[in-house]
Amino acid sequence: MKLVPILLAAGSASRFGSDKLLHLLPHQVPMAAQAARHLKVVFEVEKVLAVIRPGSPGLQKVLEEEGCRTVVCERAAQGMGESLACAVRAAGRADAYVVALADMPFIRPSTIEAVRDALLEGAPLVAPYFRARRGHPVGISGEFYDELAGLAGDEGARRLLTGQQSRLRKIPLGDPGAIRDIDTPGDLAPPIVV
């Protein structure tokens, strides 16, 4: 099966106050690079396809140094749907796509593996869950190529996942990183898990 790992890295990061995807984590690795590394560990052969916004040469360099194939989404400012559509069109038709977000660097590789494995088993839609909250990355069968390639605005794949609940394989996992996105510098503080 041809599975395409996609890293969405074209957001504006307006609430962070600086380019959050280049922000160094405590171990001195840029946030986007860490997210790419986790995908790379799972998809050893496939190149991670990273979508970036125009005018991001620093981010492009970081991601290409991590072995990603970068694609500039000219309409990224219009939202995540535009970025995902751009990525899927750049990837072309595939058996499935695993879609991760570059501002979620704490997702465990085992979570990505679980999503990948469910797709390989034939699940049309897959999402990890942590404490009943849907997280990332999400897995989407290639049968939804046309819907993905036609996305617009800021909704991403949410409507597809909620509209196809009966076909969504929910994977409960003990990975708080699956729901931990970084929007502000305060989000980098270690989470309190009770």
pLDDT per residue of the chain (194 residues) written in tens, 0 to 9: 899 999 999 976 666 656 789 988 889 999 999 999 999 999 987 789 999 999 999 999 999 999 999 999 999 989 899 999 999 999 999 999 999 999 999 999 999 999 999 999 999 999 999 999 999 999 999 999 999 999 988 877 888 888 899 999 999 999 999 998 877 666 676 665 55
* Burial class, 66, CB count within 10 angstroms (exposed 0-12 / middle 13-18 / buried 19+): buried
Enclosing H/E stretch for 117: helix 109-120
Instruction: Quote the tokens at residue 141.
Output: 């069968």
Model pLDDT, residue 133:
94
Domains contained in the chain, CATH given: 3-177 (3.90.550.10)
Give the integer Cα–Cα distance in Å for 15 and 25: 17
Residue 187: closest CA among 106, 80, 77: 106
**What residues form DSSP beta bridges with 130?**
133
Model pLDDT, residue 11:
79
Model pLDDT, residue 12:
66
Model pLDDT, residue 15:
62
Instruction: Quote the tokens at residue 73.
Output: 């989404």
Model pLDDT, residue 147:
94
Give the integer Cα–Cα distance in Å for 141 and 159: 15
For 9, the 3-state DSSP assignment is: strand
Angle at 154 between CA 149 and CA 160, to 5 degrees: 55
Torsion of CA 91, 150, 60, 69, to 10 degrees: 0
Model pLDDT, residue 153:
83
The CA R_g of the chain, rounded to the nearest whole Å, is 15
**Side chain identity at 83, as an amino acid letter?**
S
Q: List C-alpha distances in Å: 168 to 72, 94, 107, 121, 160.
A: 30, 19, 20, 13, 10
Instruction: Quote the tokens at residue 127.
Output: 């999402």
